[in-house]
Amino acid sequence: MKVAVVGATGIVGETVLRVLEERRLPVSSLAAFASRDRAAAVMFRGRSVDVHRATADSLRGFDVVFFAGGDQASVGLAAGIAGNGCIVIDNSATFRLDPNVALIVPEINAAALRPQQRIFPVANCTAIIVCVALAPVCSVAGLQRVHAATYQAVSGAGRPGLDELQAAEHAIQHDGAEPPPQAFAARIARNVVPQIGELDQRGYTLEETKIQAEVRKILALDALPFSVIAVRVPVRYAHCAAVFFETERAASVKDLSAALEEAPGLVYHGRGIVTPRDVEGTDDVHVARLRAEDESGHRFAMWICGDQVRKGAATNGVQILELLLERGMVAA
């Protein structure tokens, strides 16, 4: 299987390479691409790999191409590559809400995969993590409505986000001039920023509208009332969410706990807490602090945590490829 990774020098691209290696995908040849040529810029299976500029011509002849950069490369290149028969697994937002394209999280909706699909978008990182936790609830008791506050790590803004936090912390520690915010709406060091993306006329940010729409699509609940405030926090990796939900059918904490304990890709903590540092570098979504909000049997709350660069991006994309291999849609 010939594989290419576009955006290979970014955080997600480097993690795609790592996960392909860790999960031992049958990659016979690997090529790395970015916005410009760079010698020996990434590693795969213990060897340095040159990075080349991504163009329509340079991406011909691959069985699978991962897009791990921004929307620009996906908009300009993905459709043409897919039209030539290649499978595209795209981490940008370009195709996520296309009604003709399934938004696959393999633990949840593998049945939505269709043989004719050639472009497979990877959902918003927060939406993936939240859905892995909500799907077992939905299967047991249905969902009537959801309210959430997300606490999102700076790596969600890519390498510039990590660099900005590090530079700001260094400046504070050494009594230097803290650089003005670039990747975030306000200074991020020792702070929380309740805005991710531009605000619309309703007062929602771009990130919040993405989470709303994509949770609904993944769970196949188009009319689900879902309200969310997305907050950037000074954590390097792993997103968290406090989620308050109302079920359609009466259930107990015991019922929901049992469903969460059996859910694939999820670790349920019946006692204690879980934090971003606990889950950094792992692929599972973690749930803790499940509780009933009242005696109705319908209203509950829980805490969700997961590494958004891995399960929220790179690992979910590689899992999609594993599913395609299993279905015979890609030749090993």
Q: What CATH number is given to the structural domain containing 193?
A: 3.30.360.10
143 and 225, same domain (yes or no): yes
246 and 149, same domain (yes or no): yes
Altogether, the residues listed in the chain come to a count of 332
The pLDDT value given to residue 71: 76
The pLDDT value given to residue 85: 86
160 and 303, same domain (yes or no): yes
115 and 76, same domain (yes or no): yes
Closest of 108, 102, 152, 163 to residue 131, by C-alpha: 108
The pLDDT value given to residue 26: 96
136 and 251, same domain (yes or no): yes
The pLDDT value given to residue 231: 98
The pLDDT value given to residue 115: 86
113 and 138, same domain (yes or no): no
202 and 90, same domain (yes or no): no
Domain that holds residue 131: 127-308
243 and 112, same domain (yes or no): no
Helix (H) or strand (E) holding 38: strand 38-44
266 and 247, same domain (yes or no): yes
How far, in Å, CA of 99 to CA of 104, rounded? 13
193 and 44, same domain (yes or no): no
255 and 143, same domain (yes or no): yes
Residue 169: C-alpha distances to residues 3, 38, 174, 181, 277 (Å): 38, 30, 9, 12, 18
CATH classification of the domain holding 111: 3.40.50.720
Number of domains observed in the structure of the chain:
2
> Contact, 322 vs 264, CB < 8 A?
no
248 and 222, same domain (yes or no): yes
**Tokens standing for residue 108:** 């949840």
Exposed/middle/buried for residue 158 (C-beta within 10 Å: 0-12, 13-18, 19+): middle
pLDDT (tens, 9 = 90+) of the chain, 332 residues, equals 999 999 999 999 999 999 999 999 999 999 999 988 889 899 999 999 999 999 988 999 999 999 998 778 888 888 899 888 899 999 999 999 999 999 999 999 999 998 889 999 999 999 999 999 999 999 999 999 999 999 999 999 999 999 999 999 999 999 999 999 999 999 999 999 999 999 999 999 999 999 999 999 999 999 999 999 999 999 999 999 999 999 999 999 999 999 999 999 999 999 999 999 999 999 999 999 999 999 999 999 999 999 999 999 999 999 999 999 999 988 87
Give catalytic residue positions.
125, 239
Residue 261: C-alpha distances to residues 131, 141, 305 (Å): 15, 15, 15
Closest of 144, 151, 150, 152 to residue 300, by C-alpha: 144
The pLDDT value given to residue 173: 94
The pLDDT value given to residue 7: 94
Q: Which residue type is seen at 79?
A: A
